[in-house]
Structure 1
Amino acid sequence: MEQAVEHPEVGKEELASVTQIILGMIKTSKGLRIYLPNNPVLIGFISDLGTKMAFHLARYGELTLDVEQFTLRYQGALVYENKDPKESMASRLHADGIRTLFFDQGVEPAEIVAFLGVVGFERPSSDDDVVTQLWERNLQHIGYLTEDDFTDPYLLGEAEGADQQRDALERIRQELAQQLPPPPRMIPKHLLMLSAQEEAWLRKAVDFEGRCNGLDDVIGILAAIVGEVQEPELFADFTAILGNLTVSLVVAGDIPHALKLARFLDRLQKLPTTAPEQRQQLAAALAGILSDATVEVLKVALDSAEAGIDYVQLKELLLILGIPSLRAICELLGRVEKLKVRKLIVEVLVELGREKPAVFEPFLSDPRWYLVRNVVLILSLIGTPAALKMILGLISHREPRIRREVLGFLERTSDAKAKTYLLKYLRDESSALRIKALQVLTRERLSFALKPVMALAGGEDFQERPLEEKKEIFLALGELGQESVLPMLREQLLKRYWFQKGNEKESVQLAVLGLGRIRSRAALELLEEARGQKKGGEVRTMLDQAIASHAARKRNRGGTR
């Protein structure tokens, strides 16, 4: 469709309006070939064309188009040209003798669609000609004149020149308008006599047909072919078609239809009657659904708030794809950002790797720490000895966030042997992880940690440690050692710093923390002994508070008993 050629007798706006109508007809006729009747794109084309036509007719009156072999003209101005006979709307009209078209006010979009359904397609040679088909449709607001009308001497008279020809056309139209419409076709009565049951069934069938998705029909047809075909080459071709269609559906975010196809391929693969070679082809089709390209597109769809993806169906789809797609599923886990989706993928991977956690080993050396962290979580949820062994190998990982994830696993696990690995964190380069490990050892009263903790308290580097870490060390000493560490705490409590009052205060503070965890009278006596030696200041106040707190705990325990 080229830009309309201007004509001196036609205004630019009027000519532009006609041009837009012609363009709308071209788009709509192509849409009728491509889309189903309920497709939103086609519905949009039809609505837009109807609006433009109604606007033009309301503003300029009747739309008349002269038909030539490959062109359409409006008041002499060229508005359409296509010299391809198979594609040219003008060629189809001209070949069947139509020379003029009329569109009157009140024309409905349904009439325009019916008109384009006749002239917008190349008709099979067995079909009736355009004139016959237009006559059968009885379009009330769309008229035409044929070549025979122009040669009728009664209607044309002696018309000569453009003005006379237009007058002649008007007389022709008036003459045709006065003719009676063709009689309605008579339908035999027995064809209309439906029972109430038949009518109800017919209504249900029409309703079902209206709601039917064309994609379901395509899937059903392809599945039927693959399920019945015996020739190896045809089976391979149609299996590949199903695989490619599933990929396209995943990329489009259409998980329900992708799941439907994946189910079919998976079930067919597991049938005992399926030949080994066919099983391999089906497995290859399933394995090819998730790739780097589809993972990236799926990631965007999953992170989108408007995606509306059914997570139950997504989980089933990922489980069907299974171990052959494990790398792609882990890659998806590493890319997706939405927490709910990550949780779903973790659940899928736990289920896939429960029997053989070694499948995750290649991902433990991935440079993306967050992916490794997620794999650690997956292995911890699997919880088998083999999974535990893989996790423990990451205690010395260079990334502290991964070491923290392993520490979290050691905190959660009920495996007594695994708990001993907490001691490795007492020498971790991260103070935060050392403190966390001390807290876990103290809370769970793991007595095997007493000697390593005592070594920390007596180490040469103790004074260089952060104060918070020193406090956790002495809390662990008191909780784990009880009365066995009283001599060590007494030395810490009564040690004098003649010229370093700040160090003395810290030493007393640490000893008091340890004594506060010892559940015996000896701890209270030691505090009272120290109070007798400390004459005043912050240290004396600290001891008074510790004694009062110790006495209160003793009363509470007595009241409980």
Structure 2
Amino acid sequence: MIEQAVEQPEVGKEELASVTQIILAMLKTSKALRIYLPNNPVLIGFISDLGTRMTVHLARYGELSLDVEQFALRYHGALVYENKDPKESLASRLHADGIRTLFFDQGVESAEIVAFLGVVGFERSSSDDDVVTQLWERNLQHIGYLTEDDFSDPYLIQQADDALQQRDALERIRQALVEQPPAAPRMIPKHLLMLSAEEEAWLRKAVEVEGRCNGLDDVIRIHAAILGEIQEPELFADFTAILGNLTVNLVVAGDIAHALQLARFMDRLQKLPTTAAEQRQQLAAALAGVLSGSTVDVLKVALDSAEAVIDYVQLKELLLILGIPSLAAICELLGRVEKLKVRKLIVEVLVELGGENPAVFEPFLSDPRWYLVRNVVLILSLIGTPAALKMILGLISHREPRIRREVLGFLERTADAKAKTYLLKYLRDDSSALRVKALQVLTRERLPFALKPIVALAGAEDFQERPFEEKKEIFLALGELGQESVLPMLREQLMKRYWFQKGNEKESVQLAALGLGRIRSSSALQLLKEARDQKKGGELRSILDQAIASHAFREKTPGRTR
């Protein structure tokens, strides 16, 4: 450094305040870089604030030049920063590696400032390169520096007779450095780096392991270690909140693996007998806050993305850890996600969560979104306990046909004989499609208790108003369930004449023939032949001939049904 005292120009209060605010913003950003992930809103806000302040200052006052002392930074001789703790002092790190002046030029970008703070804002490990080397490697176009060696230039000393000459000399050096970057740092001679074969193998392995390391893993381990040792209630609450927020950010980013690490740690810590009751509540609250409305929105997009690489085992474990407190959010996610494999996984999670107490799903059965209710019905059907069955049966009269269809599907699949009786309720359903489906199930499973209600349907006043497909299913059910007991009823249907309504007579013969076709006895065949002999009309005779042929074929091949 030039020891001659140089009179500094006066600096305005506003200009000095601007520099001071920039230094403070640098310190905040430097600390934030140690704590937060790159996508954290707090860190992004600090970087944005620092970049704005720097841009405004450079536009208003021109180049920002800082003189570096052992523990202080000066701007035109005015003290703008001082910290005498070597481990925390920004000035100390710069000064220790020979930097005596810093320059920030117009056009400097936030990324350059962040890179600069990434070098000078952290305490340097003994194994790292010095600050000058690291800054040289990053080649920051708008951030310059002068080292102690630069000030030993004889030309600079000779030209330092007054303040103007000194500033001119500094400007020439700075311009020379900008136009021609400094030479590479001196390399250590190769003969000093000779390693044994074992040392070389160990070093290669260490480099390989280091290359696979993720900085996020270190952050998680550090926070977990701190939280596991904290005894003070306030600090424990603060770090629990930090871990909870970090878990939320990881879930939003789709990083399920690291989110699971944190959730697993908090869950285990919560269950330790040595954890105080208040701390357990704080940990439970942190886990319960991981999934929310906004989290589900972003997670849904991440899970449905075609580029998403999802470890489904990890996702399932994470949802199980979040558990009952997050049940509403998990159900919401099930209702929104579109990828079939993810939906299946979420259903498995909810079945496991509600297996012992299906009543936890009660609030969702009255949800206005039919698709969510439908999913809950599926979950309850997979749980399959009497309590779950009772909840499902309460939806038979639900206003939404798609919900009633889901319940009907459950009744079709269940082996519970008592539950099968509820199929009869669908015979009076508003939807013809659901009535037909219920008839088909009753017929296929040959449930005898359904015969009487179906006979009543066939004789009801509104029978003729029903769709033809439904009428067909009614008579197929009559024949299958009633067998010879319904022969008199089918004879009347078959022989009935409509003198002026040939269309109705044709339909009556078709329906009777369908019912007789399901009766496994010769009496049904004789009745068909008798009717064929009486009805000499060409179309009706053709219908009966076809029914007789089909019946005879089934008699030869037992077990075959229409």
Shorter-normalised TM range: 0.7 to 0.9
Q: How far, CA to CA, are the matches of 1:136 and 1:261 in structure 2?
A: 34
Aligned pairs for 1:482-561 within 5 A: 482-557=483-558
- Partner of 1:411 in structure 2? 412
Aligned pairs for 1:41-120 within 5 A: 80-81=63-64
- 3-state SS, counterpart of residue 557 of structure 2: helix
Ranges in structure 1 where 5+ consecutive residues have no aligned partner: 1-29, 42-69, 102-112
Q: How far, CA to CA, are the matches of 2:283 and 2:511 in structure 1?
A: 68
* Cα shift at 1:490: 0.2
Aligned pairs for 1:208-247 within 5 A: 208-247=209-248
- Partner of 1:278 in structure 2? 279
Change in Cα spacing, 1:539 to 1:80, as seen in structure 2 (3 Å) is farther
Aligned pairs for 1:246-325 within 5 A: 246-325=247-326
Q: How far, CA to CA, are the matches of 2:133 and 2:373 in structure 1?
A: 73
Q: How far, CA to CA, are the matches of 2:151 and 2:57 in structure 1?
A: 16
Change in Cα spacing, 1:84 to 1:280, as seen in structure 2 (3 Å) is farther
- 3-state SS, counterpart of residue 242 of structure 2: helix
Asked if the contact 2:99–2:132 (Cα under 8 Å) also holds between the matched residues in 1, the reply is no
Q: How far, CA to CA, are the matches of 2:544 and 2:58 in structure 1?
A: 106
Q: Deviations over 1:312-349 (max 9, x none)?
A: 21111001111111111111112222222211111110
Asked if the contact 1:373–1:405 (Cα under 8 Å) also holds between the matched residues in 2, the reply is yes
- Partner of 1:477 in structure 2? 478
TM-score (norm 1): 0.73
Give percent identity, aligned residues only.
72
Change in Cα spacing, 1:343 to 1:72, as seen in structure 2 (3 Å) is closer
- Partner of 1:353 in structure 2? 354
Change in Cα spacing, 1:423 to 1:133, as seen in structure 2 (3 Å) is closer
Asked if the contact 2:33–2:118 (Cα under 8 Å) also holds between the matched residues in 1, the reply is no
Asked if the contact 2:354–2:360 (Cα under 8 Å) also holds between the matched residues in 1, the reply is yes
Asked if the contact 1:492–1:508 (Cα under 8 Å) also holds between the matched residues in 2, the reply is yes
- 3-state SS, counterpart of residue 289 of structure 1: coil
Asked if the contact 2:240–2:286 (Cα under 8 Å) also holds between the matched residues in 1, the reply is yes
* Cα shift at 1:473: 0.2
Q: Deviations over 1:459-510 (max 9, x none)?
A: 1110011100000000000000000000000000000111111000000000
Change in Cα spacing, 1:143 to 1:424, as seen in structure 2 (3 Å) is closer
Q: Deviations over 1:156-182 (max 9, x none)?
A: 99xx99xxx99x979x98xxx9xx999
Q: How far, CA to CA, are the matches of 1:276 and 1:553 in structure 2?
A: 74
* Cα shift at 1:300: 1.7
Q: Deviations over 1:117-156 (max 9, x none)?
A: 59984799x99xxxx97599999x9997548544455x99
Count of residue correspondences: 474
Q: How far, CA to CA, are the matches of 1:262 and 1:321 in structure 2?
A: 8
Q: How far, CA to CA, are the matches of 1:472 and 1:119 in structure 2?
A: 78
Asked if the contact 1:333–1:342 (Cα under 8 Å) also holds between the matched residues in 2, the reply is yes
Q: How far, CA to CA, are the matches of 2:258 and 2:513 in structure 1?
A: 68
* Cα shift at 1:258: 0.4
Change in Cα spacing, 1:395 to 1:519, as seen in structure 2 (3 Å) is same
Q: How far, CA to CA, are the matches of 2:428 and 2:483 in structure 1?
A: 24
Q: How far, CA to CA, are the matches of 1:318 and 1:254 in structure 2?
A: 14
Q: How far, CA to CA, are the matches of 1:183 and 1:339 in structure 2?
A: 60
Change in Cα spacing, 1:88 to 1:451, as seen in structure 2 (3 Å) is farther
Q: How far, CA to CA, are the matches of 2:389 and 2:209 in structure 1?
A: 54
Asked if the contact 1:299–1:335 (Cα under 8 Å) also holds between the matched residues in 2, the reply is yes
- Partner of 1:382 in structure 2? 383
Change in Cα spacing, 1:460 to 1:146, as seen in structure 2 (3 Å) is same
Asked if the contact 1:302–1:336 (Cα under 8 Å) also holds between the matched residues in 2, the reply is yes
Q: How far, CA to CA, are the matches of 1:363 and 1:100 in structure 2?
A: 63
The residue type equivalent to 1:205 in the other structure is: A
* Cα shift at 1:299: 1.4
Asked if the contact 1:263–1:320 (Cα under 8 Å) also holds between the matched residues in 2, the reply is yes
- Partner of 1:54 in structure 2? none
Ranges in structure 2 where 5+ consecutive residues have no aligned partner: 1-27, 40-55, 78-90, 105-111
* Cα shift at 1:244: 1.2
Asked if the contact 1:249–1:257 (Cα under 8 Å) also holds between the matched residues in 2, the reply is yes
Which range moves more in the overlay, 529-538 or 548-557?
548-557
Asked if the contact 1:492–1:511 (Cα under 8 Å) also holds between the matched residues in 2, the reply is yes
* Cα shift at 1:88: 10
* Cα shift at 1:357: 0.4
- Partner of 1:6 in structure 2? none
Aligned pairs for 1:389-428 within 5 A: 389-428=390-429
Q: How far, CA to CA, are the matches of 1:389 and 1:427 in structure 2?
A: 20
Which range moves more in the overlay, 504-513 or 239-248?
239-248
* Cα shift at 1:184: 6.9
Change in Cα spacing, 1:365 to 1:87, as seen in structure 2 (3 Å) is farther
The residue type equivalent to 2:540 in the other structure is: V
Change in Cα spacing, 1:232 to 1:136, as seen in structure 2 (3 Å) is closer
Change in Cα spacing, 1:217 to 1:535, as seen in structure 2 (3 Å) is same
Q: How far, CA to CA, are the matches of 2:361 and 2:57 in structure 1?
A: 67
* Cα shift at 1:82: 6.9
Change in Cα spacing, 1:472 to 1:122, as seen in structure 2 (3 Å) is closer
- 3-state SS, counterpart of residue 558 of structure 2: helix
- 3-state SS, counterpart of residue 429 of structure 1: coil
The residue type equivalent to 2:305 in the other structure is: S
Which range moves more in the overlay, 443-452 or 248-257?
248-257
Change in Cα spacing, 1:367 to 1:134, as seen in structure 2 (3 Å) is closer
Q: How far, CA to CA, are the matches of 2:557 and 2:525 in structure 1?
A: 15
Q: How far, CA to CA, are the matches of 2:265 and 2:462 in structure 1?
A: 66
Q: How far, CA to CA, are the matches of 1:462 and 1:501 in structure 2?
A: 18
- Partner of 2:443 in structure 1? 442
Asked if the contact 2:30–2:117 (Cα under 8 Å) also holds between the matched residues in 1, the reply is no
* Cα shift at 1:311: 1.8
Asked if the contact 1:299–1:336 (Cα under 8 Å) also holds between the matched residues in 2, the reply is yes
- Partner of 2:16 in structure 1? none
Asked if the contact 1:118–1:134 (Cα under 8 Å) also holds between the matched residues in 2, the reply is no
- 3-state SS, counterpart of residue 532 of structure 1: helix
* Cα shift at 1:542: 0.4
- 3-state SS, counterpart of residue 519 of structure 1: coil
Change in Cα spacing, 1:410 to 1:319, as seen in structure 2 (3 Å) is same
- 3-state SS, counterpart of residue 557 of structure 1: coil
* Cα shift at 1:233: 2.0
The residue type equivalent to 2:509 in the other structure is: V
